[in-house]
Amino acid sequence: MISWSLDGTGNVTVDANGTSSIPITMNSPHTLTFHMVSQYSLTLDSGAKAALLFITPPSIPGDDYWYDAGTVVNYFGSTAQNGSDVVGWALDGGTPVSVSGASGFVASINMGSPHSLTVVFSAPAPSCASQICSTSTLYNVTVESQAGSSAGEWVDGVYYQTAVTFAWPEGSVHNITAADGAVQSSVRASFTNWSGLSVSRSPTLMLTVNSTGYLMAEYANLYLVSLSFTDATGTPISPQSVTVTGPSGSQDVNAAMQVWEQAGGPYTITSAIWMGWNVATGNGSTFTVSKSGALTIPLAVYPETIKVSDAYGLPLQGATVNITTLVGGSFAMVTGSNGVAQFKVPEGIFSAKVSYLGADSQVASGAPGSHNFTVTFLLSYPLVATFAGVSTAIAAYALLRLRRKPQAAGPQFFSD
């Protein structure tokens, strides 16, 4: 979580748009502090997401469900979904906790580390004609995971880590759910589809048995990519939101600026919002993935400089610079002792009104990039002129007195 606090109190959380607002009255010194809190993800399989009624507190938007470290999360789930009863919920691939009663299922999880939640459905009564069921023909069906996926499957409420073969009656229906593999060294196995007796892309399916065969859960390794961003000069900046587009579509980068992606690519930063403008560029924003790691992406954000001086080239401190960006956003700065106001804007395009002692001047940049502007105010100097006149009069009077001052007498000698 990202938040700000004024003078150590009253944290204001950055909202979904990446902004926050803290009013400050400058009648005394203040301290503005930026806070970041570690977050952990909670992964729910499709069955758990379907049976989930509500989550408290609400999830932070992003990949899966993300919560601040130490948050206690309560989940309330239904007892039936799509005609099947929910018989158990399992945390982190453990033994399912049985569901009893008709009021629903409640689980509390302390988010001190990443977790996963899986739901187990009961198998409905076989949907077969009496002639088919009465034959009692058995078919061998093998359920397994792709080699090297470190994942397993729930079959009729029981978890299997390795391949298992069942002798099932013809026409019987079975609930089978693929579980994602555990995260290992920033790599995780993510379910993609079934192969064999079903080619469904849903991790949970109801299999009606009518032949011998196999059912394999196919997986793809996902790698954790951590992103950081800089302006055009390489100085770090933090965009409010980022979207990555790759072969399988687009996804938003989570609040920690991390995203899970399959090996390959290309992946492109198609959106990076900073000050309300998409500052993603084609230059350096496309990458491929072969392992987990960190990337630094330059954005179209440029530093700008406005120097304010008088007719003699001396810097003017305290001049107000009101800046308007290309999307209409505005902010103000005051020049320091060097007469300079420095700021960053999207694309380097802006307009500014510079004010000093009632005088105004306008500057604007119409082309992308960094710019250096100098604004000169032709000010009158009555006090300086008066001081100069008085100084001249005093100097003239002193010179006149010096000329009129009698010369000292030379040495005198006396003799008898």
Within 37-124, strands assigned E span 39-44, 52-56, 65-68, 72-77, 80-81, 84-91, 97-98, 105-110, 115-121
Domains 223-297 and 302-377 share a fold: yes
pLDDT, tens digit (0-9, with 9 covering 90-100), for 132-144: 444 568 899 999 9
Number of helices (H), then strands (E), belonging to the chain: the values are 3, 35
Which range of 25-34, 58-67, 363-372 scores highest in mean pLDDT? It is 363-372
Confidence of residue 35 (pLDDT cuts 50, 70, 90): low
Longest dimension (CA), the chain: 170
pLDDT, tens digit (0-9, with 9 covering 90-100), for 348-397: 999 999 999 999 999 999 899 999 999 999 876 554 333 333 333 334 44
Residues 140-160, mean pLDDT to the nearest whole number: 84
Q: pTM for this one?
A: 0.55
Lowest model confidence (mean pLDDT) among 20-29, 258-267, 405-414: 405-414
* 3 state DSSP class of 309: strand
For residue 227, pLDDT over 50 is answered with yes
Burial class (CB in 10 A: 0-12, 13-18, 19+), 124: middle
Residue with the larger pLDDT of the pair 303 and 137: 303
Residues 195-223, mean pLDDT to the nearest whole number: 91
The helix (run of H) or strand (run of E) holding residue 352 is strand 350-356
Percentage of residues of the chain with pLDDT beyond 90: 41
Residues 401-411, mean pLDDT to the nearest whole number: 38
DSSP 134-203: HH--EEEEEEEE-TT----EEETTEEESS-EEEEEETT-EEEEEEPPPPPBTTEEEEEEEEEES---SSS
Q: What is the pLDDT of residue 142?
A: 93
**For the domain with range 302-377, which CATH number is right: 1.10.287.70, 3.30.70.2740, 2.60.40.10, 2.60.40.1120?**
2.60.40.1120
Residue with the larger pLDDT of the pair 347 and 394: 347
Where in the chain are the domains?
2-36, 223-297, 302-377
For residue 181, pLDDT over 80 is answered with no
DSSP 343-406: EEEETT-EEEEEEETTEEEEEEE-SSS-EEEEEEE----HHHHHHHHHHHHHHHHHHHHHHHSP
Residues 237-245, mean pLDDT to the nearest whole number: 94
Q: What is the pLDDT of residue 343?
A: 96
Q: What is the pLDDT of residue 387?
A: 35
Residue 146, φ and ψ in degrees, nearest 5: -55, 140
- The residues with which 375 forms a beta bridge, in sequence order, are 308
**For the domain with range 223-297, which CATH number is right: 3.40.50, 3.30.70, 1.10.10, 2.60.40?**
2.60.40
Confidence of residue 82 (pLDDT cuts 50, 70, 90): low
The token pair that represents 378 in the structure block: 């032709």
pLDDT, tens digit (0-9, with 9 covering 90-100), for 14-27: 555 556 667 777 77
Mean pLDDT of the chain: 79
Q: Cα(145)–Cα(220) distance, rounded to whole angstroms? A: 11
Q: What is the rounded end-to-end Cα distance, in angstroms, of the chain?
A: 110
- The residues with which 260 forms a beta bridge, in sequence order, are 224
Q: Cα(376)–Cα(384) distance, rounded to whole angstroms? A: 19
